[in-house]
């Protein structure tokens, strides 16, 4: 079943809200829409690309350059600038982005869906509880959303929801055992893993955690597993060949970014070290194509990264590929087929500027 399309988007604004639910809509496909735009968290309306974005952009990588660096292309921009949403997930060959910052708020319930076959965005039923840094993953044909922050990168909640495309609706499921935001959410072998994250209601009390819990959708229950060796949040986390790779992230703050790379074995309930991420960063995207984990974007102190570094799963080594044309953090990134789609994000350090830019990477 396809998501219904009843209302058009006008410019960068959402066009309709019916009965408390956003109706599906196809975004306009004009040139400006493809190019994307910028918006400030404190100022309504589109703004030019900030000079600060160019000053903070970083592209150099210490990893060896790949012989075939791959290529980037521009895709249909998000219907409006947004960042700090849930890390994206793929459901039925479409990219789903929920929650985040946008339109001068940090607790948006947005639910945008990208159809790569037609290069267009649809609007699906909004998240029941608007938040940023929500953990998301697709499992057995459904989309799960766990935790998140209701204030700017702080004040986490424990609520969890599941989305079914047939019927375009969300339902509550068992909450996390503890309130947490920026949790890495990974689906593997019929269960969801919630790994790491951050707690704290104020910036002064915010800290990273090493929590690792597993949700069984059949029992609607969470259980604890071996903790992440070093507590961190804003990580990249992906499943491959029966293991979960957790890469980079921050320890309490982007001032102390990490390059750690751990792999979790669920059969042994143990973690092991892998080759570290060449460029320590947090708030980055990641996706697997051709046996390699590509890690792109992210932020650090006065830095917004454009690096696109890939980990070879067989060789336990890294290489540097063509960097992102537009460095960003707090973005959504997924692989559909052999293409990685990277949408939205923050153009400057922190959450002050959002963008609707959407670019795609294809290895050569």
pTM, full prediction = 0.92
- Phi-psi group of 338: left, alpha or beta (phi > 0 → left; psi -120 to 50 → alpha; rest → beta): alpha
360: number of Cβ within 10 Å: 18
Tokens standing for residue 229: 């060796």
Tokens standing for residue 46: 């589109």
Domain ranges across the chain: 50-362
Residue 86: its pLDDT value, please?
79
Residue 34: its pLDDT value, please?
59
Residue 1: its pLDDT value, please?
36
**What is the spatial distance between Cα 17 and Cα 43, in angstroms, rounded to a whole number?**
23
Residue 25: its pLDDT value, please?
38
Residue 11: its pLDDT value, please?
29
- How do the pLDDT tens digits run along the chain, 364 residues long? 333 332 223 223 333 322 233 334 333 333 344 578 999 999 999 999 999 999 999 999 999 999 999 999 999 999 999 999 878 999 999 999 999 999 999 999 999 999 999 999 999 999 999 999 999 999 999 999 999 999 999 999 999 999 999 999 999 999 999 999 999 999 999 999 999 999 999 989 999 999 999 999 999 999 999 999 999 999 999 999 999 999 999 999 999 999 999 999 999 999 999 999 999 999 999 999 999 999 999 999 999 999 999 999 999 999 999 999 999 999 999 999 999 999 999 999 999 999 999 999 999 8
Tokens standing for residue 159: 């609520």
Q: What is the CATH number of domain 50-362?
A: 2.120.10.80
Distances 273 to 123, 202, 231, 233, 260 between C-alpha atoms, Å: 40, 32, 14, 17, 8
Residue 36: its pLDDT value, please?
87
Residue 335: its pLDDT value, please?
98
């Amino acid at each position: 079943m396809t998501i219904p399309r009843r209302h058009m988007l006008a410019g960068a604004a959402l066009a309709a809200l019916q009965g408390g639910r956003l109706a599906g809509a196809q975004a306009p496909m004009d040139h400006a829409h493809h190019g994307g735009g910028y918006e400030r968290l404190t100022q309504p309306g589109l703004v030019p690309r900030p000079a600060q974005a160019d000053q903070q952009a970083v592209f150099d990588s210490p990893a060896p350059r790949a012989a075939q660096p791959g290529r980037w292309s521009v895709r249909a921009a998000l219907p409006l600038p947004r960042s700090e949403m849930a890390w994206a997930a793929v459901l039925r060959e479409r990219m789903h982005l929920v929650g985040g910052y946008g339109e001068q708020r940090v607790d948006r319930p947005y639910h945008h869906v990208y159809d790569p076959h037609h290069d267009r965005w649809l609007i699906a039923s909004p998240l029941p509880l608007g938040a940023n840094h929500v953990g998301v993953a697709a499992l057995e044909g459904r989309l799960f959303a766990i935790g998140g922050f209701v204030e700017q990168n702080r004040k986490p909640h424990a609520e969890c929801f599941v989305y079914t495309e047939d019927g375009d609706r969300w339902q509550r499921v068992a909450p996390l055992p503890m309130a947490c935001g920026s949790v890495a959410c990974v689906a593997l072998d019929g269960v969801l893993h919630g790994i790491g994250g951050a707690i704290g209601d104020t910036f002064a009390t915010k800290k990273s955690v090493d929590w690792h819990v597993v949700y069984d959708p059949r029992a609607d229950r969470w259980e604890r597993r071996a903790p992440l060796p070093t507590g961190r949040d804003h990580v990249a986390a992906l499943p491959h060949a029966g293991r979960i790779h957790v890469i980079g992230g921050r320890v309490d703050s982007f001032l102390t970014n990490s390059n750690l790379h751990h792999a979790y074995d669920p059969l042994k309930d143990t973690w092991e070290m892998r080759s570290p991420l060449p460029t320590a960063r947090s708030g980055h995207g990641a996706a697997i194509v051709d046996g390699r984990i590509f890690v792109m974007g992210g932020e650090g102190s006065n830095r917004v990264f454009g690096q696109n570094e890939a980990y070879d799963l067989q060789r336990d080594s890294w290489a540097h590929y063509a960097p992102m044309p537009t460095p960003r953090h707090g973005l959504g990134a997924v692989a559909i087929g052999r293409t990685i789609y990277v949408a939205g994000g923050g153009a400057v350090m922190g959450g002050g500027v959002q963008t609707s830019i959407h670019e795609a990477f294809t290895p050569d």
